[in-house]
Amino acid sequence: MSIADKIFIDMCRDIIDNGYSSQGQEVRPRWNDGTPAHTIKRFGIVNRYNLAKEFPVITLRPTYLKSAVDEILWIWQRKSNNIHDLKSKIWDSWADENGSIGKAYGYQLGIKHKYSEGEFDQVDRVLYDLKNNPSSRRIMTNIYNHQDLHEMNLYPCAYSVTFNVTGNKLNAILNQRSNDVLVANNWNVVQYAVLVHMFAQVSGLEVGELVHVIADAHIYDRHIPLVEELITRESYDAPKLIINPDVKDFYDFTTDDFKLENYKKGEQIKNIQVAV
């Protein structure tokens, strides 16, 4: 069993067995038929992934690497807030008639700020510090910009990353206010694990830990039977992440520079309803 599978199974079991149900409360999300989408949740989940030991993609079902990488490049590399710059349809329901999701995600990372060394956006500041100030305890990003929340079609879920170099290893803490465990948990883990790998490669560092901190880790009511079935499946050894070693500039990465070697996994869950 992969470590990522064990972490996922234990988390789901804990949420289902010990979580708090929102039944009886007024909730914002709805199913397509208009029914309130209730959840069972745990507060303050912290999962640690040793990226030097294995790549944390679950094997219980597929997580599609290229789509996950395309989305993380859309946000962090292209710094886009327009779904026309993204191949998948994940964000379509949050976009306006022009394809914009408002001043959210990539838009926030692309805003330039003044520093003593010059002007940087948040991504370029991280890249600069990893090469020039690796011992800094100030290497972080935050896209939960309160003054722009009213112009965001969706408030950021994964909103802050703190990077920390220990020895020659790059570690990161991903802070997430809310996480739909079935739909998005491993998706987000894979994305930010890849991001740490990219930043480490272009900065001459090795990968260390990814720590995923989730304030509200929840399973929707209609997802509980699916999760119960998923976590009883056979698990396999973790695959190996292969990255094109010739890429030395973060802005040169493409989805074709990543692949999973020996990725054995279970069948995809079909027809998952998504609450909006």
Among residues 3, 154, 157, 211, the one annotated as catalytic is 157
CA distance 61 to 186: 10
pLDDT for position 32: 92
Q: Is 24 helix (H, G, I), strand (E, B) or coil?
A: coil
81 labeled binding residue: no
157 carries an active-site annotation = yes
244 labeled binding residue: no
Tokens of 27: 């909730």
pLDDT for position 276: 85
CA distance 82 to 100: 4
Tokens of 146: 């309160």
Which distant-in-sequence residues (6+ apart) come within 8 Å of 273 by Cβ? 31, 32, 220, 222, 223
Which distant-in-sequence residues (6+ apart) come within 8 Å of 97 by Cβ? none
CA distance 199 to 206: 9
φ, ψ dihedrals at 43, nearest 5°:
-95, 135
Q: Which helix (H) or strand (E) holds 67?
A: helix 65-76
pTM listed for this prediction: 0.97
CA distance 254 to 273: 30
Tokens of 233: 């499946």
CA distance 86 to 99: 10
216 labeled binding residue: no
Tokens of 258: 């990543």
CA distance 164 to 138: 8
Tokens of 242: 């292969």
125 labeled binding residue: no
According to DSSP, the β-strands at 158-166 and 206-220 are unpaired
Buried-exposed string 10-49: b where 16+ CB fall within 10 A, e elsewhere: ebbeebbeebeebeeeeeeeebeeeeebbbbbbeebebeb
pLDDT for position 271: 84
- What the chain holds in terms of domains, given with CATH numbers, is 3-261 (3.30.572.10)
One digit per residue, the tens of pLDDT, for the chain of length 276 reads 999 999 999 999 999 999 999 999 999 999 999 999 999 999 999 999 999 999 999 999 999 999 999 999 999 999 999 999 999 998 999 999 999 999 999 999 999 999 999 999 999 999 999 999 999 999 999 999 999 999 999 999 999 999 999 999 999 999 999 999 999 999 999 999 999 999 999 999 999 999 999 999 999 999 999 999 999 999 999 999 999 999 999 999 999 999 999 999 999 998 899 888
Cβ burial of 243 (10 Å; 0-12, 13-18, 19+) is middle
220 labeled binding residue: yes
pLDDT for position 92: 94
Task: Count other C-beta atoms under 10 Å from residue 202's C-beta.
Answer: 18
Cβ burial of 118 (10 Å; 0-12, 13-18, 19+) is exposed
Cβ–Cβ under 8 Å, residues 15 and 218: yes
For residue 121, give Cα distances in angstroms to 129, 199, 261: 12, 15, 34
